[in-house]
Chain A
Amino acid sequence: MISQFFILSQRGDNIVFRDYRGEVPKGSAEIFFRKVKFWKDDGDGDAPPVFNVDGVNYFHVKDAGLLFVATTRVNLSPSLVLELLRRISRVVKDYLGVLSEESLRKNFVLVYELLDQIIDFGYVQTTSTELLKSYVFNEPVVVDPTQFLPLGSAGIFTAKRMPVTTIAKSVVANERGGRKREEIFVDIIEKMSVTFNSSGYILTSEIDGTIQLKSYLTGNPEIRLALNEEVSIGRGGGSAYDYGLGTGAVILDDCNFHESVHLDSFDVDRTLSLVPTDGEFPVMNYRITQEFKPPFRINSLIEEAGPLKAGVIIKVRADFPSSIIADKILVQIPLPPYTTRVSFELEPGAVGNTTDFKEANKRVEWGLKKIVGGSEHTLHAKLTFSQESHGNITKEAGPVSMTFTIPMFNSSRLQVKYLHITKKSKSYNPYRWVRYVTHSNSYVARL
């Protein structure tokens, strides 16, 4: 069982601190924070999410720059505690609308109310946003949400443009005018990992997807989510590869589902039915290693150009329809440690580009505000070295890595065909939002 739970700010201040069992000495929060802070200095990289100091086990997860921490002396299941911490952060977000240090500080009494119900004497009682509702009496003080952009930007909606703020609202707060808006969000979020080798051939590729639901419907109507029928699960039989490409089949290696999902007709017509509870939760997680067309092709080259000089060329081509626009693109490449100066040359007419050489970790960062589908972008960089490079320069630089977000796009071709809500009355017609987005997870091209 859990002994203590606390939330620390980035600077290590206690924002919320709850001791459930009084068996871990005072000062555990300081001990924890020092340990995490100095872990890196000892050359071991980031502190792992679980570690032991003097017989006390510390678990932590990071969210929105905050540290959610639990301590125990018992040999608990690490998964259980880390899942719980993640869940607590989600529940807090459900109630506050926005998870940030400011919103927590303004609502810490409400958070205490939640914690009191979530854990009793170290044992988890409930983490259901819905069930917790009846035990929370503090009104959330809503922090101005416009400064926090939710998933994607407003540009991702096709049919109706929607104000960004709606997603950042608390499950208990009412809209101005005291009426709750009936709406439901279904997000298909895919994290993409691709590794290209030096000749542009795909070494590994994977899509980790989530269908996430956030419901503000009253009265808990049942909903049905239909996926496209081409979806199949499991790569068994060895034939998967044969009809994988071209035929439009979407083959999931594996997937899992939220507790509330009924799969009765899933095998027949790929329909998930569930009664969504309040708050945000993943309906389904899936994993795909079937080949897919990567959205970006990267070509890069590093070449010596005389003594103490070298040139780098990075070319990025967007391999998706021109109706789609990727944003928040950052391309990075580590350079040899003896690089002293870098000068950049962009294509004529390039807009929204930023280039930077990070002296401290010898890295070039190339930022692009947006990339329209079908377009191609090139960066030339000239490097100056402080010493002669010996041996193979390509072994001292790279790989090129890329981060991006592509709204309204998913490579897996998994789709939500329709979202059906059981109607309470004829006039009942809640807003439904189905949104797709692809994020880069690890998108790497080797030199």
Chain B
Amino acid sequence: MAPPAQAQRSSSPSQPSGKGEVADVKSQLRNLAGSRAPGVDDSKRELFKKVISYMTIGIDVSSVFGEMVMCSATSDIVLKKMCYLYVGNYAKVNPDLALLTINFLQRDCKDEDPMIRGLALRSLCSLRVTNLVEYLVGPLGAGLKDNNSYVRMIAVMGVLKLYHISASTCVDADFPTTLKHLLLNDRDTQVVANCLSALQEIWSLGGSASEEVSREREILLSKPVIYYLLNRIREFSEWAQCLVLELVAKYVPADPNEIFDVMNLLEDRLQHANGAVVLATAKVFLQLTLSMTDVHQQVYERIKAPLLTLVSSGSPEQSYAVLSHLHLLVMRAPFIFSSDYKHFYCQYNEPSYVKKLKLEMLTAVANESNTYEIVTELCEYAANVDIPIARESIRAVGKIALQQYDVNAIVDRLLQFLEMEKDYVTAEALVLVKDLLRKYPQWSQDCIAVVGNISSKNVQEPKAKAALIWMLGEYSHEMHDAPYILEGLIENWEDEHSAEVRLHLLTAVMKCFFKRAPETQKSLGAALAAGLADFHQDVHDRALFYYRLLQYNISVAERVVNPPKQAVSVFADTQSSEIKDRIFDEFNSLSVVYQKPSYMFTYKEHRGPFEFSDEIGNLSIGTESTDTVVPNRVEANDKDLLLSTSEKEETRGLNNSSSAYSAPSYDASSLSVPTSQLSELAISNPSVSGNVPQPSFAIDDLLGLGLPTAPAPAPSPPPLKLNPKAVLDPTTFQQKWRQLPISLSQEYSINPQGVAALTTPQALLRHMQGQSIHCIASGGQSPNFKFFFFAQKAEESSTFLVECIVNTSSAKAQIKIKADDQNATQPFSSVFQSALSKFGMP
């Protein structure tokens, strides 16, 4: 029987394994298993509780699986539920024993009580054991038809679980079709909501069948479905409303009236107490009005008050999530919030992550009318006991100074900081004064007078020290003792740990030398000598360079080292507008909180293997990838290229989960193809794709299909002239694609030669490029390929966007064209068709 508890106990004293206790429980469970004594259920309850609590704190109790199952033959529902919980947790590691549970779970699935049916079905689907899926199909099918909505609700999620364990079983049983039916017909809104979740996840997992999937997605985003859901939105639970709203944000209405209808319908959702509902509604409003500038602005005005209310009503965590979104909006349209600046004042008891956001918002909304008050407020924070926030506040004042035209008052404040004699305040202020002088050289006299009084000994932070030294060099003609301060600093060269400071010191002493040679010559010599002996490569090189320059010609040296400077008008932004737009596209997601687009924080290994759509954002594209293309890896899951980015997030997550459940072969393949990350992407970069991807040629030749090595010249020039060097970045493409309506949708036939030539998508890309139609993304696998093309008119920057789905077995191409200039759609369509028809022709 069970080994003595003592022998098993605590092999490592630091971490009690709990083995002794588990063995104890095991034997007790055994004793109870067959017992029918009165009160046995109570003893079982206590034991089960113990098992669950071990499970919770992470002790492995999988060894009592058999005993738990034996004890589960009971009518006590509390016991049953604990047993379900246990079984769901350990079935995966005990696939053989899991078989034991099938019997009683299946029986419970037919129980009279709908709750028991539901619970049993949920547990059955949660076993996650591949070789048991055959047992799921029957109960699931029955569950989906159950007359109790609780059971149906669970069955729908069960379908999704089954899909993760075995997609083919799920599809063979035709469950997705059933879900589609329930989505539009079930009376219970939670069943409908679960169908929506499940279908979205299933379709985003459905890797290769991308054509079918994208059609399904289109149906989901079609007017009847969207309207059906919208009209019932109040019946949904608040969480399900979020789900529906997320979907609606991707819907492209046909005309402005429709946009206003949707917005009017959802207007009252902005008064909801649940922040998630309000933000999801705000997203719908923002997305729908992207192309209507003035309405878009009104939306900002409209959502402002509800968001501010949420910020102040919820818990700190909830208000942080909303505040992050408000921050994003403020950054995009500061003028709309300029009179609300008081809302962004920091409260003393707020956590620093909130204060940081608020400081940035205050900086952004500062304008002529409110700057004085904002800066006064910020100066209060500068004396704050919270040092990081005090620093941020000073930086904020500096930033405001740099973005204002009238800086008089602010300069005074900054200079007051320098007189506060707090080390960190001085340090931050010095850096700011330096930047200020680079933009407003006219302030030099006032600033220099104050800076000159600062003892360099009180400045220790490298950044501040470097700033001070820069000013000493730059204004050495105005600061009386500049040469002597520099001299003192050079004497302490050895003690200066920061290379940045030493570099600045070299340059400053040079500048000083040009202006006040007699006083500086000695220091310059000392600095150059010290620099030459410096162990830091950059410092050494700069010293050597200066030395040789001076040897060559002093006036040339002055022109190089201290040329007249132009004032900086605008300091470079740290984040590109492209990234900002991407974050905005991902409104109401973590991207906003992290202030990063999702591709920066969602790791590749957890994404699906064929995800490329987010790469399109950072352009890891084109020539370098094409020469490593392995044809069967070119399976880019392009279906979601054009969906709004937030949906892609879902996709990615779903793909993650697929990788969590799928066989190891997956990882193996990605390991065996070292370049897989590149070859996932079959994206051709129009601007650099001049050179031809060789490997796919080689494959074509092996197959003996004979492919033209150069695009065939067009026999008759088309009436519409296209720009052969058209450029479009993927983000713009995605945005345009979402905003523009479809101007033409058509199906063409492809000639047999074309079909034969289309062994890889690359062949067609090259061909089309020869016709000035550029590919921005492509993917798919025989027989289905999908391409996104674009073209521009030769004379003007009017763009055409094309989605082209080719099915090689039916030799058909489905084309959707969107155009800036709707009138030019027809001519373009014929150009496109003629280009396509020539594909494969010698």
Contact = CB atoms under 8 A, between A and B. Distances in A.
B350 A442 contact: yes
Given A80-B242, A83-B276, A391-B419, A14 B57 contact: yes
A271 B52 CA distance: 48
B324 A1 contact: no
B353 A46 contact: yes
A74 B347 contact: no
A392 B278 CA distance: 47
Interface stretch (A156-164, A248-256, A312-320, A366-374): A248-256
Q: Kindly list the 8 A-B residue pairs having the minimum CB-CB distance in the complex, ordered from nearest.
A: A74-B653, A45-B352, A75-B649, A442-B347, A55-B603, A49-B317, A285-B313, A23-B660
Size band of the A side of the interface?
Answer: 35 or more
A48 interface: yes
A400 B315 CA distance: 24
A208 B317 contact: no
Nearest to A209: B313
Nearest to A61: B317
Nearest to A191: B312
Given A109-B49, A137-B81, A61 B347 contact: no
Give the most central of B82, B280, B385: most A CB within 10 Å. B385
Contacts of A57: 590, 601
Contact of B160 (A19, A121, A138, A204): A121
A109 B82 contact: yes
Given A26-B58, A334-B385, 13 more contacts: A52-B601, A57-B590, A61-B318, A77-B279, A78-B589, A80-B276, A82-B318, A82-B321, A109-B82, A120-B153, A125-B153, A135-B115, A286-B309
Q: Chain A's interface: helix, strand, loop or mixed, by majority?
A: mixed
Contacts, number: 258
Contact of A77 (B157, B201, B276): B276
A13 interface: yes
A123 B194 contact: yes
Contacts of B190: 125-126
B666 interface: no
9 contacts: A13-B57, A74-B652, A75-B591, A75-B652, A76-B590, A77-B279, A120-B194, A191-B312, A255-B271
Contacts of A399: 348, 380
A334 B56 CA distance: 44
Given A257-B271, A259-B238, A442-B350, A73 B194 contact: no
Interface of A: 1, 13-17, 19, 21-23, 26, 43-46, 48-50, 52, 54-55, 57, 60-63, 72-80, 82-86, 108-109, 112-113, 116, 120-121, 123-128, 134-135, 137-138, 191, 193, 195, 203-204, 206, 208, 210, 234, 253-259, 282, 284-287, 289, 334, 361-362, 390-392, 395-396, 399, 401, 441-442, 444, 446
Given A22-B128, A74-B652, A134 B420 contact: no
A348 B340 CA distance: 46
A345 to B, nearest CB: 24
B315 A254 contact: no
Contacts of A254: 305-306, 308-309
A128 B190 CA distance: 13
Given A206-B312, A256-B313, A79 B588 contact: yes
Contacts of A256: 271-273, 278, 306, 309-310, 313
A444 B598 CA distance: 39
A179 B242 CA distance: 39
A75 B589 contact: yes
A361 to B, nearest CB: 7
Nearest to A121: B157
A21 B56 contact: no
B380 A446 contact: yes
Contacts of B306: 254, 256
Give the most central of B154, B308, B350, B653: most A CB within 10 Å. B653
Contact of B309 (A55, A287, A395): A287
A112 B320 CA distance: 28
Interface string B665-693: 00000000000000000000000000000
